[in-house]
Structure 1
Amino acid sequence: MEKKSILIAGGGSTYTAGIVVMMLEYLDKFPVRKIKMYDNDEERQQKVAEACEIIIKERAPEIEFLYTTDPEEAFTDVDFVMAQLRVGKYAMREQDEKIPFKHGVVGQETCGPGGIAYGMRSIGPIIQLADYMEKYSPEAWLLNYSNPAAIVAEATRRLKPDSKIINICDMPICLEEIMARVINKKSRKEMDVQYFGLNHFGWWTSIKDKEGNDLMPEIKAHVAKYGYAENTPAGQHKEESWLEAMRAGKQLLEIEPDFLSNTYLKYYLMADETVAHANKDYTRANEIIDGREKNVFNECARIVANGSAKDTTIASSEHAVFIVDLARALAYNTKERMLLITENKGAIENFSSDAMVEIPCIVGKDGYEPMSVGKIPTFQKGLMEQQVASEKLVVDAWVEGSYQKLWQAITMSKVVPSAQVAKDILDDLIVANQEFWPVLS
């Protein structure tokens, strides 16, 4: 197998070291000759990169490694760009969450006004990454993990229609791993799933084992009692906001008993309950700043201080496995079935052709082929149409610099109760995002 060159864009991310570890564990299946990191925050990236350099030297010293803030150096001679940008970092995520909460509306990273604000920050930098890739490594693939994936996917569909970009999300993968564990399967890869929806807005319609046996009844029985919460080592030591979302699977099953729902539907279908129970002064952004972010950077500093990654707590995760599996499928034509965000084009028969949907696809060296879903029920179709309309209006607003379109986008979000509340939130978001958004008029 030909060895590949990988660029991690967003090198200062708390997920970067886990992706590096995952690639080193996968070298027999996905051989790598070079790993690069790129970020516009030199200081933050350096903290992660120096630790990754030690890990690579100890485990695979033959791999070339470098980190840089220079686009030409970063994007030259790469086969895959793994993008995981967080524009504005966690400080702006905190604003995305707390500003809507101030107005009695769900404050969440990718859902509702917070997700729209994040989308407005993310579109430009993702398009810029694609431009760099096409200039310096035109044969490469951009595998985009950056949130909010639905808005970013709509923007890349519209603004870079001929680019080699695949938009992905690990949330369904995470939930499938939970499902596998609660029914005593070793991995989600022991299951065949059928799924449809939008990013952070979807449903499993079928889950079977490799012999074709139906696993849905057993999984539903667990969800009916516990949601997606689990009594396993992997299910412990999570932030309370995460556990609350997992437990909400129980109520989501009551709302839609035929399918299994993605937990993010909690924010849309249980918005009042979410707001009522939220700690508006200490949101999930604060939990991550005080938890995962601090832990990752402390561990990186420990590795650098010791000059060794022996006994490191940095490990691969679902996040890392999914993006490496995707790169491997593209590189070596594995024809793996994966959930991707793709233009519908009739895969869901009774849904907009140009909507960016999340559905199973077969991935090989020439890209991916969406699998047919057929027709979807009225309840899901109606919810998805409203959400897609909101996402398209966000991209309209970014392209046109339109205050009106962004006001309409926030008004269209199911979590927002009225146009006036949408306007009040928008005006506050504009002040908070002056450094990042285009000027709106």
Structure 2
Amino acid sequence: MKQGVKIVTIGGGSSYTPELIEGILNRYHELPVTELWLVDIEPGKEKLEIIGNLAKRMIMKSGFPIEVHLAIDKRVALEGADFIITQFRVGLLEARARDENIPLRHGVLGQETNGPGGLFKGLRTIPVMLDLVKDIKELCPEAWLINFTNPVGMVTESVFRCSDYKNVVGLCNVPIGMEKGIAKLLKVDHSRIRMDFVGINHMVYGVDVYLDGVSVKEKVIDLLSHTKKYAFIKNVEGQESRKLSAIPCPYQMYYEKKDEVLQEEMKNYQEGRTRAAVVKKLETELFDLYKSPTLAIKPPQIEQRGGAYYSEAAVRLISSIYNDKGDIQPVNTLNKGAIASLPSNSTVEVSCVITKNGPKAIIHGDIPSAVRGLVQQLKRFEGMSVEAAVTGSYDTALLAMTENPLVPSNKVGKRILDEMLEAHKEHLPNFYKKVGT
């Protein structure tokens, strides 16, 4: 790889971007970035400029020789890139609000990456991602695509299934957040902790925990089991870990405690406090902070946005590929037998050895038996969703909708599907002429 690294961020006007800048600066000694391109769309131009100015101030304060470029035309930015990070949201926060509100109107959980909301975020996002991949193949075919765009597993799988571009890795901040939570529980530095992860994105399980290379899983589960709710891993209950002999991720609650979560979300919806509404308010406050000409650091308020440890995970991964480190990290990649009960050509979230040739999945055996059926069902849902996004098939979208365990019946699923297709039609060109057929 050439001297100096060029990183392009698609969705550069995101409120998450200061996290990324901080991560790049913290690892500059091992990842010599010379060019950073922040790319966004025309409606996001104002936010892009605010973020770009903050990035330049942060870099100037560091003293590192990194050039920051802003672009609306992604093709201008992609030429000669080494790494592309995707963190975009098709339809912006208004689309997220619809993803949450419409299912709730029908008595179904509305959530960004789960249930009907996850389906529609995928339907909007996958065609845009595949268009981006065409440009990458033309302009920087050797580059690595690090996908942070949700639903991460579904979107990453679409690239593997629907293109011949294989330099793609999906990344989520949930596993690193779980590791950090365990480190706090054990009162040790995160660098001493490693976990073995098995599952799919947002339904992943820590099947072992190592402290200085020695398994301490039983000790961790015992500690978790003596607390009703472990504060450092949101929504993870100790008894659940004991039952599974593994540590579930926070998204387990949407399925394990579906009725309780739905009741709480309905209350928030009725009071105008859905997560989309909260995030919109946070975004406004963050960008007011970002505008300050004296701000030259990542403000601590960004952690409320939900992107904690994103920069650490993203830049750690990029550095490991660039430096051919051969360390172990949890990422989304092709299964290839790493999990016995899931298709070999599907995308899974597992611990992998990270090399200059990308992640090499570690063979883990299987998912905990108590949740195997759930994960398999969600994997089928993801596969159907990818097919629907690419083909624009109403019938396939309906199959995906009703396959999701959060949707109670075909009748309810069809009502939600029809309303959401209409609400999102501006961002669903593959479906536009197919609604109602």
Q: Which amino acid aligns with 1:272?
A: D
- Aligned-partner Cα distance in 2 for 1:315–1:90: 17
Q: Which residue of 1 aligns with 2:279?
A: 288
Q: Superposed, which structure 2 residues align to 1:398-437 within 5 Å? A: 398-437=389-428
Q: Which amino acid aligns with 1:146?
A: T
- Aligned-partner Cα distance in 2 for 1:211–1:376: 22
Q: Which amino acid aligns with 1:207?
A: V
Q: Which residue of 2 aligns with 1:66?
A: 69
Q: Would you say 1:133 and 2:142 are equivalent positions?
A: no
SS in 2 for 1:346: coil
Is the CA contact 1:94–1:285 (under 8 Å) kept in the aligned structure 2? yes
Q: Which residue of 1 aligns with 2:251?
A: 264
- Aligned-partner Cα distance in 2 for 1:268–1:314: 30
- Aligned-partner Cα distance in 2 for 1:215–1:384: 22
Deviations, residues 250-301 of structure 1 (Å, cap 9, x unaligned): 46436x341111110111221111111121132111111112x123211211
Q: Which residue of 2 aligns with 1:241?
A: none
SS in 1 for 2:426: coil
- Aligned-partner Cα distance in 2 for 1:190–1:340: 19
Q: How far is the alpha carbon of 1:388 from its aligned partner?
A: 1.1
SS in 2 for 1:285: helix
Q: Which residue of 1 aligns with 2:261?
A: 274
Q: How many residues align?
A: 421
Deviations, residues 17-46 of structure 1 (Å, cap 9, x unaligned): 110122112111211111110111222211
Deviations, residues 68-114 of structure 1 (Å, cap 9, x unaligned): 11123211121111111111111111111111111111111100100
Q: Which amino acid aligns with 2:250?
A: T
- Aligned-partner Cα distance in 2 for 1:269–1:164: 35
Q: Which residue of 2 aligns with 1:222?
A: 224
- Aligned-partner Cα distance in 2 for 1:191–1:58: 32
Is the CA contact 1:130–1:163 (under 8 Å) kept in the aligned structure 2? no
Q: Which amino acid aligns with 1:392?
A: G
Deviations, residues 290-331 of structure 1 (Å, cap 9, x unaligned): 12x12321121113xx4x527955889510011101111111
Is the CA contact 2:37–2:68 (under 8 Å) kept in the aligned structure 1? yes
Computed over aligned residues only, the root mean square deviation of the Cα atoms, in angstroms, reads 2.0
- Aligned-partner Cα distance in 2 for 1:436–1:311: 32
SS in 1 for 2:53: helix
Q: Which residue of 2 aligns with 1:29?
A: 30
Q: How far is the alpha carbon of 1:192 from its aligned partner?
A: 2.5
Q: Which residue of 1 aligns with 2:345?
A: 354
Deviations, residues 197-228 of structure 1 (Å, cap 9, x unaligned): 11001211110211414144235423541423
Deviations, residues 226-267 of structure 1 (Å, cap 9, x unaligned): 42314xxxxxxxxxxxxxx8135346436x341111110111
Give the TM-score, by structure 2 length.
0.91
| Segment of structure 1 superposing worse, 76-85 or 377-386 | 377-386
- Aligned-partner Cα distance in 2 for 1:155–1:421: 27
The alpha-carbon distance between structure 1 residues 58 and 382, as it changes in their structure 2 partners (threshold 3 A), is same
The alpha-carbon distance between structure 1 residues 17 and 375, as it changes in their structure 2 partners (threshold 3 A), is closer
Q: How far is the alpha carbon of 1:336 from its aligned partner?
A: 1.5
Is the CA contact 1:340–1:361 (under 8 Å) kept in the aligned structure 2? yes
Is the CA contact 2:31–2:319 (under 8 Å) kept in the aligned structure 1? yes
Q: Which residue of 2 aligns with 1:372?
A: 363
Q: Which amino acid aligns with 1:222?
A: L
Is the CA contact 1:127–1:160 (under 8 Å) kept in the aligned structure 2? yes
The alpha-carbon distance between structure 1 residues 208 and 61, as it changes in their structure 2 partners (threshold 3 A), is closer
Is the CA contact 1:5–1:33 (under 8 Å) kept in the aligned structure 2? yes
Matched-pair identity in %: 28
Q: Which residue of 2 aligns with 1:299?
A: 289
The alpha-carbon distance between structure 1 residues 222 and 407, as it changes in their structure 2 partners (threshold 3 A), is same
Pick the aligned partner of 1:329 from 295, 299, 320: 320
- Aligned-partner Cα distance in 2 for 1:107–1:358: 23
Is the CA contact 1:299–1:313 (under 8 Å) kept in the aligned structure 2? no
The alpha-carbon distance between structure 1 residues 381 and 75, as it changes in their structure 2 partners (threshold 3 A), is same
Pick the aligned partner of 1:118 from 111, 121, 126: 121
- Aligned-partner Cα distance in 2 for 1:62–1:315: 25
Q: How far is the alpha carbon of 1:377 from its aligned partner?
A: 4.2
Q: Which amino acid aligns with 1:297?
A: F
SS in 2 for 1:42: helix
Q: Would you say 1:48 and 2:51 are equivalent positions?
A: yes
Q: How far is the alpha carbon of 1:420 from its aligned partner?
A: 0.5
The alpha-carbon distance between structure 1 residues 250 and 92, as it changes in their structure 2 partners (threshold 3 A), is farther
- Aligned-partner Cα distance in 2 for 1:49–1:223: 46
- Aligned-partner Cα distance in 1 for 2:237–2:99: 24
Q: Which residue of 2 aligns with 1:19?
A: 20
Q: Which amino acid aligns with 1:6?
A: I
Q: Which residue of 2 aligns with 1:233?
A: none
Q: Would you say 1:96 and 2:132 are equivalent positions?
A: no
Q: Which amino acid aligns with 1:109?
A: E
The alpha-carbon distance between structure 1 residues 63 and 101, as it changes in their structure 2 partners (threshold 3 A), is same
Q: Which residue of 2 aligns with 1:185?
A: 188
SS in 2 for 1:265: helix
Deviations, residues 44-63 of structure 1 (Å, cap 9, x unaligned): 21121121122222223521
Q: Would you say 1:396 and 2:378 are equivalent positions?
A: no
The alpha-carbon distance between structure 1 residues 215 and 387, as it changes in their structure 2 partners (threshold 3 A), is closer
Is the CA contact 1:22–1:315 (under 8 Å) kept in the aligned structure 2? no
Q: Which residue of 1 aligns with 2:378?
A: 387
SS in 1 for 2:350: strand
Give the TM-score, by structure 1 length.
0.90
Q: Which amino acid aligns with 2:66?
A: I
Q: How far is the alpha carbon of 1:154 from its aligned partner?
A: 2.0
Q: How far is the alpha carbon of 1:379 from its aligned partner?
A: 2.8
Is the CA contact 1:197–1:358 (under 8 Å) kept in the aligned structure 2? yes
